[in-house]
Amino acid sequence: PSREEVTYFGAGPALLPTDVLENAAKALLDYDHTGLGIAEHSHRSQHATDIINNAKADLASYLDIPDDYDILFMQGGGSGEFSATAYNLVGAWVTRKKAEILEQLGVKSEEDANQEELVSALKKAVESELKLDYLVTGSWSLKAYQEAGRLLGPEHTNIATDSRPINDGKFGKIPEESTWKLSKNPAMVYYCDNETVDGVEFPKFPDVLAPKADGTGPIVVADMSSNILSRRIPVKNFSVIFFGAQKNLGSTGVTVVVIKKSLLPPACPQPSPSLMRKLGLPIPPVVFSYETIAKNNSLYNTLSIFDVYIAGQVLKKLLKTFPDKVDGQQAIADKKAALIYGALEAHPDIYKIVPDKSARSRMNICFRVTKDNDTDKAEAYFLKLGTSFGLTGLKGHRSVGGIRASNYNCIPLAGAEKLVRFLHDFAQP
Ligand code: PLP
């Protein structure tokens, strides 16, 4: 089939706008009449810097990211950020703790302190207090939690909440906030805003994590790999937001980190590697150090400028399409999701939506198909018939099975409507 005939509901990478790809194809051969392709220009060139700065400015504009945040382009994907968030936020925790201890000791700087006294007080604090809190609501937050345990030791990680015990051992619900067991002064509270595999999305920013009137509050870190650019987010409530580009922003190859500048130097320099070693804590590989990447405007080492360029072109198109920026995209995303869930709910004998209604994802719509009490057969037929109508990529994640319609920004309203018609038709006896 041709590109126009296919509506692809795969979970990622997702389709990119055809006009962006057509222009990118030209830019691969000759970027801006330079005789060199975009992937051939040096990452040290002015072209590269301009592409990065424009993409940063457009992302900040589209999502209303305030000036006290920086935007980093990194490599290593969402999975790399599971490690990067743990490393960097633990470093920031040590820096804060160190300042507290120096104040208690009545000395101005680390150099003025009795080193043995300082290290011993910090060690004690690390042993008794250092915790990373995770809200485990699906496969990706679980993976992030496991990675932190692997890097730091499980004694430093805390599952503040877990969906499985309240949902027959499976993901699909977000436990009541009143039941969450947050640590006293965690290095971060981490959650995944949209669980791609399990179809679970936080309906809104959790109240218990909101900053207080004086601006203080927990350090909140969120993985928005699968729902970024699909709704307005209260950026100022977060210390770090990260996402791979490959679902709602651009092509596979860059990961975006939106980070509050108060976590970077000069406000919060990372502790020295030698101090971290004395404390028995890990330091990040330099390419995962937010401090290093920020200091170099994402060009510490060779970055795929082509991928940043694609993301930038998608953002330019979004800004042109939606004068009210992300609110415009949100209205469409919400509408598409409502249409698809509506069609599923219209045939309760045939379709079983997997997650609880309170936590249904607008981006990854997970359901089971049953006909004549034979789910395997019905789902295989559903996928085969869907594909014959150009509705592809609907197979659920291999770990959970079933059907998953990924309703990313690249799915036009007409694509969602086509799926809706198919859902109704398939349900007919
Ligand atoms: N986080 C979420 C929510 C994801 O959906 C994925 C991948 O699909 C990841 C993290 C991992 O991303 P990557 O494959 O870029 O490491």
Residues 6+ apart with CB under 8 A from 110: 98, 102, 118
Q: Six-digit token pair at 57?
A: 């400015």
Last residue of a domain, one of 308, 343, 375: 308
> Residue 227 Cα, ligand 1 centroid: separation in angstroms?
11
Q: Ligand 1 pocket, 140 CB below 6 A?
A: yes
Degrees, nearest 5: CA angle 309-365-419: 85
Give 403's strand partners. 367, 395
Separation of first and last alpha carbons in the chain: 29
For residue 225, how far is its CA from the centre of ligand 1 (angstroms)?
6
Q: How many domains does the chain have?
A: 2
Q: How far apart are CA 426 and CA 122, in angstroms?
A: 63
pLDDT digits (tens, 9 = 90+) for 215-270: 889 999 999 999 999 999 999 999 999 999 999 999 999 999 999 999 999 999 99
User: Is there a domain that residue 260 lies in?
Assistant: yes
Q: Looking at the domain assignment, is residue 32 inside a domain?
A: no
For the segment 366-374, the average pLDDT, to the nearest whole number, is: 93
**3 state SS of 72:** strand
- Final residue belonging to a domain, choices 250, 284, 308: 308
- Residues 68, 143: one domain? yes
Atom of ligand 1 nearest to the CA of 197: 5
CA of 214 relative to ligand 1 center, distance in Å: 34
In a domain, 139, yes or no: yes
Average pLDDT for 339-365: 98
Q: Tell me: the pLDDT tens digits for 5-35?
A: 999 999 999 999 999 999 999 999 999 999 9
Token duo for residue 47 = 């072209």
- Which pLDDT band holds residue 384 (cuts at 50, 70, 90)? very high
| Inter-residue contact 307 to 252 (CB < 8 Å) | yes
Residue 76 structural domain: 55-308
Q: Give the C-alpha separation, 398 to 110, whole Å.
A: 51
Q: Do residues 272 and 377 share a domain? A: no
Whether residue 238 sits in one domain with residue 365: no
- What number of helices (H) and strands (E) belong to the chain? 11, 14
Q: Ligand 1 within 6 A of 253 CB?
A: no
**302 and 329 within one domain:** no
Is the domain of 141 the same as that of 61? Answer: yes
Share of the chain above pLDDT 70, in %: 100
**Residues 91, 191 within the same domain:** yes
Q: Where are the beta strands (DSSP E) in 196-239?
A: 200-201, 220-223
Beta bridge partners of 151: none
- Is the pLDDT at 293 greater than 90? The verdict is yes
- For range 350-366, the mean pLDDT: 98
Q: What is the pLDDT of residue 210?
A: 97
User: What does the block give as tokens for 93?
Assistant: 């925790």
Verify whether ligand 1 is closer than 6 Å to residue 225 (CB atom): yes
Residue 13 lies in a domain: no
8 A C-beta contact, residue 333 and residue 362: yes
Q: pLDDT class for 84, splitting at 50, 70, 90? A: very high
| Peptide bond just before 271 cis, omega within 30 deg | no
Average pLDDT over residues 45-73: 98
Give me the mean pLDDT over the 34-52 stretch: 97
Residue 288 and residue 339 in one domain: no
190 lines ligand 1 (CB under 6 A): no
pLDDT at residue 287, as a whole number: 98
- d(Cα 253, Cα 242) in Å, to the nearest integer? 14
Question: Does the complex come out with an ipTM higher than 0.85?
Answer: yes
Which of 171, 36, 147 minimizes the C-alpha distance to 82? 147
Do residues 406 and 9 touch, judged by C-beta distance below 8 A? yes
The closest of 386, 403, 298 to 344, measured between CA atoms, is: 403
Considering 308, 342, 373, which residue would you say is the last residue of a domain?
308
- Identify whether residues 290 and 256 lie together within a single domain: yes
pLDDT of residue 372: 86
State the closest ligand 1 atom to the C-alpha of 194, by its place in the atom list counted from 1: 3
Percent of residues, the chain, with pLDDT higher than 90: 97
Q: Which two tokens stand for residue 181?
A: 């067991």
Q: Which pLDDT tens digit goes with each residue over 296-331? A: 999 999 999 999 999 999 999 999 999 999 999 999
Band (pLDDT 50/70/90 cuts) for residue 169 is very high
Q: Is 316 within a domain?
A: no
- Same domain for 120 and 245: yes
CA distance readout (Å), 288 to 88, 117, 375: 8, 30, 44
Asked if residue 146 is part of any domain, the answer here is: yes
Cα–Cα separations (whole angstroms), residue 69 to 91, 94, 236, 241? 18, 21, 9, 10
- Do 60 and 182 belong to one domain? yes
